[in-house]
Amino acid sequence: MDTLQLILLSVVQGLTEFLPVSSSAHLVLLSEFLGEEDQGIIFDVGVHFGTLMAALVYFRSDLKKMIINLGSHKFLSKENNLTTNLIIAVIPILLSGFLLRDFVNLNLRNSEVIAYATIIFGILLYTAQLRKGKEDLDSVNLKQALIIGLFQCLALIPGTSRSGITITAGLFLGLSATAASRFSFLLAIPTIGAIALAELIRVSFIDITDNGTELSIALIISFLVAYISIDMFLKLIDRIGFTPFVIYRLLLGGWLLMYWT
């Protein structure tokens, strides 16, 4: 992979990982456009650790509070509500991802699937925002967390968007736009962490040392872009809503159906 392609893909990954527009779809499409179908495991490791670090740094205060509460209160106490909810919510994607990853890679990573998923789940997001929920993170219970986690399994379909589908679930459950987004982004930490760890296990130490420059570029760029993306999104979402992202998804899906399928 040449340097320009590496930079472009890293920027796209960092920008779209936390926006409700599907990072996997954009990577597949950009790779096809550039004539490179597989970015390689080193790239995947780099961008996933980069976006993971961005979420860890951005939500460091929330994470510190969660760790302190775990040490000072009973596990199922009210103080640990967010922690237990995130644990419950991440379980479905860990199981379904392990069982269905090969099927998805072989059968669903194509422009037609991405096009329909982009449109369908964009419309679903628009429908969900009409609910105008007002609940905050403290109101989420274990049942709701499980529902959000089950919705996240749909993100295995390229074009769905992990953040988009979990935000959609949160909105349907009555969460405010900001609360649904924060829960989605916090849920990304164990989800992306599991993905990054699974990829790292597949990489030898020699691969890392031989491709250290590529790994570093992917990690640094995706980290910076993802951090800015999270910050801007959470600051603006209450004002702009999700409609601009829905419109973008409909235009992208329509373009794909006309020219790429």
Domain count within the chain = 1
CB 163 within 8 A of CB 185: yes
Q: Cα angle vertex 148, ends 109, 184, to 5°?
A: 80
* pLDDT tens by residue, the chain, 261 residues: 778 888 988 999 999 999 999 887 787 777 777 766 666 778 888 899 999 999 999 999 999 999 999 888 888 888 899 999 999 999 999 999 888 888 887 888 788 899 999 999 999 999 999 988 888 898 999 999 999 999 999 999 989 999 999 999 999 999 999 999 999 999 999 999 998 888 888 877 787 887 888 889 999 999 999 999 999 999 999 899 999 999 999 998 998 888 765
pLDDT at 38: 61
CB 114 within 8 A of CB 256: yes
CA 166 vs CA 86, 146, 186, 228, 261: distances in Å: 12, 11, 11, 20, 27
pLDDT at 39: 67
Sign of the C-alpha dihedral computed for residues 222, 224, 228 and 234 taken in this order: positive
CA 227/CA 243 separation, integer angstroms:
22
Q: Which residues contact 164 (CB under 8 A, 6 or more apart)?
A: 19, 20, 21, 22, 121, 122, 125, 155, 245
CB 88 within 8 A of CB 145: yes
Half-sphere exposure of 227 (CA within 13 A, CB side): 15
Closest residue by Cα to residue 164 from 245, 234, 54, 254? 245
pLDDT at 3: 83
pLDDT at 41: 75
Q: What is the pTM of this model?
A: 0.92
Show the domain range for 30: 3-259
Reading the block at residue 34, the tokens are 């550039």
Q: Which residues contact 14 (CB under 8 A, 6 or more apart)?
A: 47, 50, 51, 54, 221, 222, 223, 224, 225, 226, 229
Which amino acid, 11? V
CA 112/CA 122 separation, integer angstroms:
15
CA 35/CA 251 separation, integer angstroms:
23
Reading the block at residue 177, the tokens are 């736009």
